Amino acid sequence: MRHEKTVIIKDPRLRKIRNGLRKIYFYHYLPTASRYSGEKPTDKKAIMTKENSKIFNNSICNCRSCFRMDRDMIYNKHEGRWYCLDCYYSIKARNTDPADWPLSRKEIRIFLRELAGPEGCQYNGREWRCGGKEFTYARRALDLMEIPKATQEEFLTFCRAFGGYCDCEILMNAAPYLLGEETPY
């Protein structure tokens, strides 16, 4: 049984409409007095604001983690909350047991060595080159290791979850977490 529901809109015009409707919904739930005049709301309005913010925060209109309203969302049935795709997969990867990761610790060490080496980023602590957000060197290293494409994508999601948004950031940010030398929180 699936425990999540994903809502993705690909058409840019429909995204614009969705984002506009979310903004209207958001402004509807802001207290009127504080929205226009900067006044503090009365006690009755403050109570309504708490109820309204609870309704708004549990809706599909914003991510429960980063509070962005312009993203495609995924619903986590266990928590009863909506997240943007980036936050959801990041949280999911951080909470996954290292034994269930797509690559073993030994494979991760080999990958990091290849990525930092002369065919990769040429990382020496002060100077390096980067393949950008396309993970050019990371994909090359994973291809050399003969890792299947689906496993590569899953592993790169783990790298993003630990701050590795490009080749060099995998080495600088994500490597300690991937190797188990630090914990994410």
Give yes or no for residue 41 having a pLDDT over 70. no
Residues 87 and 153 in one domain: no
Cβ proximity of 162 and 174 under 8 Å: yes
Q: Which domain holds residue 127?
A: 96-178
Whether residue 185 is contained in a domain is answered as: no
Higher pLDDT, 116 or 56: 116
Residues 128 and 56 in one domain: no
Cβ neighbour number for residue 63 with a 10 Å cutoff: 23
Give yes or no for residue 36 having a pLDDT over 50. no
Residues 11 and 31 in one domain: yes
d(CA 41, CA 71): 30
Residues 85 and 100 in one domain: no
Q: What is the pLDDT of residues 58-83, one digit of tens each?
A: 788 888 888 888 888 888 887 788 88
Whether residue 183 is contained in a domain is answered as: no
Of 59, 75, 93, which closes a domain?
Answer: 93
**CA distances, 118 to each of 19, 44, 59, 171 (Å):** 45, 66, 49, 14
Provide, rounded to the nearest whole percent, the portion of the chain with pLDDT above 70: 82
Residues 12 and 70 in one domain: yes
- pTM, two decimals, is 0.60
Domain count, the chain: 2
Whether residue 184 is contained in a domain is answered as: no
Give yes or no for residue 49 having a pLDDT over 70. no
